[in-house]
Amino acid sequence: MELHVHLKRGGALARQVYQQIRTAIFDGRLRRGDRLPPTRELAGRLDVSRNTVGLAYEWLVSEGLLAGRRGAGTFVEGDPVARTLRPVSAAVRPRAVWSGVAAPPPWPRPPRYDFGVGVPDASLFPFDTWRRLIARQIRGSLLGAGYGDAAGQPRLRAAIARHVGVSRGVAADAEDVVVTSGAQGAFDLVARLLIEPGARVAVEEPGYPAVRQLFESCGAVVAAVPVDEAGLQVEVLPHDARLVYVTPSHQFPLGMPMAHTRRVALLEWAQRRNAVVLEDDYDSEFRFGGRPLETLQAIDRHGRVVYVGSFSKALLPGLRLGFLVAPPSLRDALRAASHVAGWHAPLPAQAALASFIEDGLLARHLRKARRAYAARHVRILRTLEREFSRWLAPVPSVTGMHLAARLRFGGVRLETEVAERARAAQVGFDRLSPYCAATGRQAGIVLGYGGISDASIAEGLRRLRECVASAARQRSE
């Protein structure tokens, strides 16, 4: 192990070596069982005598922090339980906005009946095909010494432009596309580019909390704009909003699409107000019924829309691959922002995805996943309508990987009680209220069906019904 020791001029050299190794042990940087460099080697690196290092090691051995093993070397021996943590200085603090943003907890072990939102079915993913594509790209020496284009591999950008052009009617070529680390990476680039401290930004209510928090972290004043059965209420938009974030294809988390009249009204509003519309085409790959709706980008005539897509749900979240399609006026600046912010996603994964799209494998995978999710959607919806109607009102939806249902009574308190009982019953789902920022929070449940097997749905819903019924009964007593 390389051991960093810095010697200052003056002072006893052996004492300095001793103190720095001792500090490293108590800090936890050196752990029980770690092997220290031989005295000759460390002395050579520090340009001191071997006796100086040997003396420092002897002091540490006498304290029980090091131990020598014949023929093997010198190892850390100190009991980690006895170590004390170094005091944390209060001098360095984050900006005030981060005090209201909780750090995400470690990814929990999913419950037995997991209706979590935003989780695709990994069993549908063609792992063998993906491994072959990745292996081919690695053998093709993509892992060279250089960096790739900050906007993403040109071949992938061209493949994405063709894919969204054919499947979603998006007007774009490779130069308009910037590859990002998931959709959140795209939102971050747009925020860096367009949000100045104090600027007003509009988001949907209820909506995606991570986007709201991202905008707030950039210093924006975020306005929560309500949605109804036709989507975002354009007439309620603040007149001074410079950016509007929407999920028009499948409103998150409720699920309804934005009506065509609202889409036109939003674009006209953005043109009048000199604003930008950030279109998150969330879950649009999984539409099960009704006529396909045009994207905002496809009907935009003034270059007001930044279109964002992701492969996290279509493939796997762990691939961390998303993209944005920039209007001409923002194209160069977004490419520059990508260069500054983090360069690009791993090149082998980009190249593999380009082949996956070009060879028709993505389209084939989406057809398979769409059939599976459509069947689960219908099954869960019918069960909610038949067995939960006393307590829940499902929100109509024909797209995506989840269903939302509002509680008919009881509000957030009943929602919380249902969630607590469900946790004990090994049933997982999302509560609706945390997706709301305003004080008049909506209450309900959001059920994803990507992370639960077909065989587990019936029992999961049966357990959930018991939780809802018992919580509602207790509230009424």
The answer, yes or no, to whether the previous bond of 253 is cis (omega within 30 of 0) is yes
- Residues of the chain falling short of pLDDT 70: 1, 10, 78-90, 107-108, 140-146, 343-344, 439-440, 477
Please say whether the beta carbons of 437 and 384 come within 8 A. Answer: no
Task: Report in angstroms the alpha-carbon separations of 362 from 136, 450, 457.
Answer: 18, 17, 27
Q: Which pLDDT score, from 0 to 100, does residue 89 have?
A: 57
Q: Which amino acid is at 42?
A: L
Contact 139, 353 (CB under 8 A): no
CB-based contacts of 427, cutoff 8 Å, min separation 6: 111, 112, 113, 115, 460, 463, 464, 467
Q: In this predicted model, what pLDDT tens digit does every residue of 61-112 receive, in sequence order?
A: 988 899 988 888 999 986 654 455 555 555 777 888 787 777 777 766 889 9
**Letter string b/e over residues 427-442, b meaning 16 or more CB atoms within 10 A of that residue's CB:** bbbbbbbebbbeeebb
280-310 exposure pattern, b = at least 16 Cβ within 10 A, e = fewer? bbbbbbbbeeeeebbbbbbebeeebbbbbbb
* Model pLDDT, residue 107: 65
357-415 tens-digit pLDDT: 999 999 999 999 999 999 999 999 999 999 999 999 999 998 899 999 999 999 999 99
User: According to the model, what pLDDT value does residue 439 have?
Assistant: 64
- Point out which residues pair with 113 in neighbouring strands: 427
| pLDDT at 92 (0 to 100) | 77
State residue 80's pLDDT score. Answer: 54
Domains identified in the chain and CATH numbers? 13-82 (1.10.10.10), 113-118+364-476 (3.90.1150.10), 125-360 (3.40.640.10)
% residues pLDDT > 90 (the chain): 67
Question: What is residue 412's three-state secondary structure?
Answer: helix
pTM for this one?
A: 0.82
H or E element in which residue 180 lies: strand 177-180
- The pLDDT, as a whole number, for residue 26 is 86
SS3 403: strand
